[in-house]
Amino acid sequence: MEEIKRVLTREELHELVWSTPMQQLAERYGLSDRGLAKTCERHLVPVPGRGYWAKIEAGQRVKKTPLRAVQNTAIHTVHIGTKYISPQSAYIAGMLAAAKVELEQEDEEIEKSRPSALPAELEPVRPAPPVISPAGIHADAKPLLTELRRLEPDRDGFVDLSYIKVSPSDINRVVNLVSALAYQLEGYDVELVTDRNRLRFAKDGTTIGFSITAPRKRVATKSGWRSYDYLHIGRLVFEIYGGRDGSRKNWSDTDNRKVEEAISEIVEGFRVALIVERERQEKQRIEDDRRAHMAHRRELVTLRQKRESDRLSFLHSIAAARREVADLKATIATVPQDGSLPDDYKRMISWAERRLEDLEAETSIERIQERLVEQRLYTDPDHLFDPEGDPPPKVNYWDD
């Protein structure tokens, strides 16, 4: 039997869905017709509308929707019935590789610090307490037990702390799980802390949050048409919060395995998440510093432009004052000195002489120097100098 081709181009999938009815094509690939339609939708491949094949059988002419070209290369290849993992960016791959190296180095340091009298393979690891007991719960997890027991169930039967939403019967499991993680992670200098009214795991100032939820199952009832009840099924889902860095962040109960059996995996998940988050924060800090530096350089440009305008205004004011000094001197020099002037004329000349005296004082070398220093128009060294030169002009709000 010929093996079915399951990795297609968009063009090949388009040709298939317009040459074979969706139901037949879906059966060939072991899918539902709706599942195949969703695959087409994700890859922007148009499918025949209702009644298309009936019209074909009736001999009618029907129009085939052409395949539109797309720029997104991620959807050019179609995986049907196979698990497809999208490629990581080079940045994410680099961060995860660096995190792996750092974890290996940290593990080596822990191995070296162990007492030589106790072989590594026999080192006792404190397990999570199997039964809720104030003496067995990690000290940092005890407030969680108190808080969860204090809450009243909501109308759906959940106790809800926003990041923990479970049924009351799950409280013991939740606290045991968090306590076990706290015991395991403290060996890597990771603490369970309360940050912004919720528990997080923290190391060296970097924190990672988590959530624990309990999904419900919808069950039809006999009370009416399309009437359902939502029942708690006693399963937990644990999720590590943070950016999509390519590492696993979600664990849930299955028929064969409980979340508690994945504690070592969750611990590794937190260790990786903390390293990736720290790298992200450092990258963000560098970016913020760069933006602040560029904003400062652009502010210097504005201040230098204003200073040029102030320099020009200052020179104009000095020139105007000195012209007035010359005009006043010339005017006063033409006034008769025989004392025969009218009283008002004398008073005008006296005012002009006082004005002249003030202007000469204001335009003296000493006074001009004082004003230049006050206004910082010609400082040395220049406090507005940019050793990098003028920055490129800002194009938009985010262009720093």
Give the model's pLDDT for residue 229: 76
| Residue 388 in domain | no
| Residue 46 in domain | yes
Residue that is last in its domain, among 284, 314, 344 = 284
What digits encode the pLDDT tens for the residues 286-312? 999 999 999 999 999 999 999 999 999
Residue that is last in its domain, among 79, 102, 130 = 79
- 228 and 144 assigned to the same domain: yes
| Residue 109 in domain | yes
Q: What are the distances in angstroms from CA 207 to CA 181, 193, 310, 330, 395?
A: 15, 9, 50, 80, 36
Residue that is last in its domain, among 79, 101, 128 = 79
| Residue 180 in domain | yes
- 147 and 168 assigned to the same domain: yes
User: How close are the terminal C-alpha atoms of the chain, in Å?
Assistant: 61
- 26 and 109 assigned to the same domain: no
- Ranges of residues in the chain with a pLDDT under 50 are 1, 84-86, 88, 116-135
| Residue 394 in domain | no
As a whole number, the mean pLDDT across the chain is: 84
- 296 and 280 assigned to the same domain: no
- 203 and 315 assigned to the same domain: no
| Residue 399 in domain | no
CA distance linking residue 116 with residue 236, whole number of Å: 40
- 49 and 164 assigned to the same domain: no
- 159 and 96 assigned to the same domain: yes
| Residue 199 in domain | yes
- 104 and 207 assigned to the same domain: yes
- 218 and 103 assigned to the same domain: yes
Give the model's pLDDT for residue 399: 63
Q: Shortest CA distance to 68 belongs to which of 47, 46, 35, 49?
A: 46
Q: Shortest CA distance to 237 belongs to which of 167, 330, 312?
A: 167
- 187 and 308 assigned to the same domain: no
- 182 and 324 assigned to the same domain: no
Give the model's pLDDT for residue 96: 63
Full domain range(s) for residue 274: 90-284
Give the model's pLDDT for residue 142: 92
| Residue 396 in domain | no
Give the model's pLDDT for residue 56: 86
- 212 and 313 assigned to the same domain: no
10 Å CB burial of residue 224 (0-12, 13-18, 19+) is exposed
Structural domains of the chain, count: 3
Q: Shortest CA distance to 170 belongs to which of 140, 138, 214, 210?
A: 214
